[in-house]
Chain A
């Protein structure tokens, strides 16, 4: 079975500016991929090529085995742009109805009601877009992207305008979609969020993928800290396996051991390392 999304040597140039420089990437069905990178790294361009909004200069992109931008590919995709706007004269229900018509969805009013409930906008069915807060519009945007039960969801900064409760709703929604076999590509600057929900992460910089793997693979151990009666002792190169020996040694030396902390880098550290930013102090592994 073809992956939900695949691209091979994908290149996009805008005049002299290289937005993507030969990207290879696959997203499996039911996988939640976090696409990270600084502004201008090429995340949105990659997403737009997948959605058929931007044409690749070289290379190929496919959605469920069909060329990106083809009718089949667009039928399989749900998309929420980073900078989006909906017609302010439409109500939430009318907007979803419009997208149902465009997507050829036969879900009718039941699908619309379900989607609005899913993003906790059930009470805002008749509310016009211009009367909604930015956060409500973003949640409506996610509902719009889910019209027609897409098998691949491309979300570009879907939680940027949301409050913590809204983010939690979206996180739960994304994990629920993954469980139903929907592949999700999540572009985000909110690394903590990506770390929480994504199965895999790809970090883009200057149009290239500079790191990829599971969040667990991307973070690195940064030693051990042991709190003793004499104060905090640090072992920067120690591993988890060495902890019993270290504790035994301290006890043997007559120290009182109160706490042992395994330290690791965060996804943020991995990200900064990959894109050449400043390193941060190690954090405690929980």
Chain B
């Protein structure tokens, strides 16, 4: 899990041009993709935390991005994940989302966290469940519409399984 590079734009452009990106605000043109990647990087600058690129240790391939996300208009800080096409089904999202949550609790001192998930994004809903999260209402975003709010176990619950 690392910061962003100019070369990551191509991987995002391929993903955002595909139908799978409709769960996360896509499909997007290359112009909007460039802006989205800059915003991912700039979120770190404005908030002090953000979403990381996921890179496969063995191959160096970029697999998606994951991490802590709290732009203006969000109900509270969230743990978010996006896997590029072909990176699904290998536990990559689970592994990195758990690492992100641990970072939020242990390093940043968050006391709670959520994940916002599109109503029809069943794979992400299952992942939230596997992480021990539960459905905690819905949130209507001005651009993305209605999303499910999944509440994660807090830092204390996580420490005492």
Chains A and B form a bound pair: no
